[in-house]
Amino acid sequence: MKERRERAEKERLESQLRKDQPEFVKNFHFEFDEDLDGDPAVSVWAIVGDGEAESADFPEHLKATRSWISTALSQTEIEHWPYVQFRAESEVDWEKIRAHEVARVFLVALLMGEKWKRR
């Protein structure tokens, strides 16, 4: 049941993000998870053009990207705290991104286990 709900939320969020995707965001990847407090979170990697970080408009694009993601979460009624990371197209190694996610999930599980042991 939980997996089906999460899959439906992922599909809704991806559809909303694709619909309103800013031009300067070339691609994106996201994963649902929990933050260190155990609250629902979504990690989003926004992939931008290689020259984007040096662009004079980059600070405004950062704000616009965060707003785009928050708006999509609100419109899809998905209550997850967004954690946004930016990568240039040439920096993207999807295998490393997935490995990072696995490591983060392991760390959260480890920390939560320690938290429960102390009770």
Q: What is the CATH number of the domain that holds 15?
A: 3.30.70.1350
pLDDT digits (tens, 9 = 90+) for 44-65: 999 998 888 788 998 999 999 9
What whole-number distance in Å separates Cα of residue 75 and Cα of residue 67? 12
Confidence label for 105 from pLDDT (cuts 50, 70 and 90): low
E runs forming strands in 14-88: 25-34, 40-48, 81-88
What whole-number distance in Å separates Cα of residue 100 and Cα of residue 106? 10
How many structural domains are present in the chain?
1
The pTM of the full predicted model, rounded to 2 decimals, is: 0.71
**Cβ atoms of residues 73 and 84 within 8 Å:** no
Q: What is the Cβ-side half-sphere exposure of residue 104, based on CA atoms within 13 angstroms?
A: 17
* Domain residue limits at 27: 2-118
**Cβ atoms of residues 17 and 59 within 8 Å:** no
